[in-house]
Amino acid sequence: MLKKTLIFFIIFMIVVGCAKQTDQAVTIVEEAPLLERGKARKEFYWLDQHNVTVRNEWTQRAHEVSGQVYAEPTEFSEYVSGVKTKLDTKDKVIALTLDACGGETGSGFDEELIHFLITHNIKADLFINARWIDANRDIFLELAANPLFTIQNHGTEHKPLAVSRRSAWGIESTTSKEEIVEEIMGNQLKIFELTGKFPQYYRSGTAFYDDVAVKIAEDLHLEVVNFDVIGDAGATFSKEQVVDSMKSATAGSVIILHMNHPESETADGVKEAVLELINLGFQFVHLHEYRLK
């Protein structure tokens, strides 16, 4: 099944939702453009020979990883060995990570939240699931084209990652190393085909893993990134709860939020909290600007 998929390109409440920065943006961009759905580029990436070669190298790596022998798992949680949760720095910087989980109840788009980030020049790393991309292709392409955002891998079917049957918050995990590779690589290739770039970081559906799954992701040249601050609990927090949670961030914090529930109070909370954090001297950076721990 993995071979066919590759050939044809392919954490309680979180599941509900599913070079340093030098001039932090209290500067407001005048009439910052919102995403223009009707004008989204239909062809964002052209499959030139170089990128065919790169894609084939990733495909070959996936086959090799699927054939490797791994030890039996000893952990299963959001914080197993190898999962990164903070930036390794004492600088007053924070990484905002926004999940877009996809699926029947998770494919919305919080335009108010994204508009705020664009208007205030706030960086964020977007962890996007393949199903969300399929439901929001034009929006995805606009987000991918905006240098404020990086596109990261949130899985293909939004599954916890394990080599044997487990579950997290009612969602069944993958059950083999082959399924883990498929869950990672299906979306990895999809994002590459649309953007010409492979994501550098991975976060599973539910943010649960066993330790073998984390090693497999690393062997696929991805860092597994979770968080130390739960910003909106799967887009279920009230505005006040979002603000209080985000304000608990410290130097190097990674905050998880959701960008796929416009009906939630996440945007209202983020708008207040971000401005307060800036006033406290924090800057917002991308994950790749610092080592992770």
Domain coordinates in residue numbering, the chain:
2-12+45-68+80-289
Lowest mean pLDDT among 5-14, 115-124, 241-250: 5-14
pLDDT at 53 over 90: no
Question: 150 by DSSP, 3-state: which?
Answer: strand
First to last CA, the chain: 34
Lowest mean pLDDT among 12-21, 110-119, 232-241, 243-252: 12-21
Residues 113, 14: Cα–Cα separation, whole Å: 18
| Helix or strand run (H / E) with residue 224 | strand 223-224
Largest CA distance in the chain: 55
CB 251 within 8 A of CB 227: no
pLDDT per residue as tens digits for the range 121-141: 999 999 999 999 999 999 999
Rg (CA), the chain: 18
Over residues 194-199, mean pLDDT = 95
pLDDT per residue as tens digits for the range 66-115: 999 999 999 999 999 999 999 999 999 999 999 999 999 999 999 999 99
CB 157 within 8 A of CB 127: no
**Which of left, alpha, beta for 30 (phi over 0: left; psi -120 to 50: alpha)?**
beta
| Residue 140 DSSP one-character state | H
Written as six digits, the tokens of 27 are 């500067």
Residue 281 has, within 13 A of its CA and on its CB side, a CA count of: 5
Strands 283-284 and 93-100: parallel
For residue 37, the model assigns a pLDDT of 45
Over residues 276-286, mean pLDDT = 99
> Domain 2-12+45-68+80-289, CATH 3.30.420.10 — does that match?
no
Q: Which residues contact 69 (CB under 8 A, 6 or more apart)?
A: none
pLDDT per residue as tens digits for the range 146-177: 999 999 999 999 999 999 999 999 999 999 99
| Residue 25 DSSP one-character state | S
| Helix 49-66 × helix 177-195 angle, to 10° | 170
Q: Which residues contact 52 (CB under 8 A, 6 or more apart)?
A: none
Over residues 201-217, mean pLDDT = 98
Amino acid at 130: A
Question: pTM (2 decimals)?
Answer: 0.86
